[in-house]
Amino acid sequence: MRAGFPEFRLGSVLATSFTATLTERQGDPVERIPVPQRLVDWLAVNGLAVDSCTTAQLERARELRESIHLAATAAALKEPLPGPAVQVINDRSAEGRAAAILTPDGEREWRLSPSSSVEDALGVIAADAIGILAGERDGRLALCASPTCRAAFFDTSQSRTRKWCEMNTCGNRQKKARFNASQRKRPRPEE
């Protein structure tokens, strides 16, 4: 982690890990990629290393992020997908020219072209979002139960009953809030 910047929230699903670079959307939002270098850092952590990023590229990345968030939220609510958001996702997907590479160890790596690596990385993220939105992957899109969060996340639990985008943050906070509320209701011995 670089000093002074909010930490990343990393999940196992690329598209929703990306939308989680803005958290507490319904409360006090926390921007986790506030400067181009932080997008470079985030991409590196997610197997999409790029050399550099401009302010314009960061803006395009955020536009894609918010489009994925809108589309995933609509999908979770079983509402029609918003046309402009779908357009952005499709455009970024079409622009990307990343190649999937199979390593000798049998793992997949993304090879980005040196001249357009941020665009290629965004293409990989957009394609990942399309896979989820199209229902191709085993799981369910849902919204976090935390009222200050409401992040769209991809539930791959067997029971498909996950309530929070992340147990360590939203889940624990909700539990603590409920515990505190129940403590307050109980009269103290000295009262």
Q: Is 142 or 144 the residue whose CB approaches Zn ion more closely?
A: 144
For Zn ion, which residue of 61, 86, 144, 152 counts as binding (CB under 5 A)?
A: 144
Q: Does residue 151 bind Zn ion (CB under 5 A)? A: yes
> Rounded to the nearest whole angstrom, what is the least distance from the CB of residue 165 to Zn ion in the complex?
3
Find tokens 């505190």 and name the residue: 180
CA 5, 9, 12 angle in degrees (round to 5)? 150
> Which of residues 33, 86, 149, 152 is near Zn ion by CB under 5 A?
149
What would you report as the CA-atom Rg of the chain, rounded to the nearest whole angstrom? 19
Determine the size of the site formed for Zn ion (CB under 5 A).
6
Residue 76 binding Zn ion, by CB under 5 A:
no
Q: Out of 36, 124, 165, 174, which residue is the one contacting Zn ion (CB under 5 A)?
A: 165
Among 40, 146, 154, 155, binds Zn ion (CB under 5 A): 146
Task: Write out the DSSP string of 108-168.
Answer: EEEE--GGGHHHHHHHHHHHHHHHHHTT-SSSEEEE-S-TTT--EEEE-STTS---SS-II
Q: Is the CB of 42 or the CB of 164 nearer to Zn ion? A: 164
**Residue among 97 and 173 whose Cβ is closer to Zn ion:** 173
What is the Cα 44 distance to its own chain's centre?
A: 15
Considering only the stretches 76-84, 88-96, 120-128, 144-152, report the one whose residues sit in contact with Zn ion under the rule CB under 5 A: 144-152
Residue 170 interacting with Zn ion (CB under 5 A): yes
**Closest among 18, 24, 25 to 45, alpha carbons compared:** 18
- Residue 99: helix, strand or coil by DSSP? strand
Which structure tokens are listed for 99? Answer: 């190649």
Q: Which is nearer to Zn ion, 89 or 165 (CB)?
A: 165
Residue 72 lies near Zn ion (rule: CB under 5 A): no
**Which tokens belong to 75?**
């999908």
Q: Residue numbers of the site for Zn ion (CB under 5 A)?
A: 144, 146, 149, 151, 165, 170
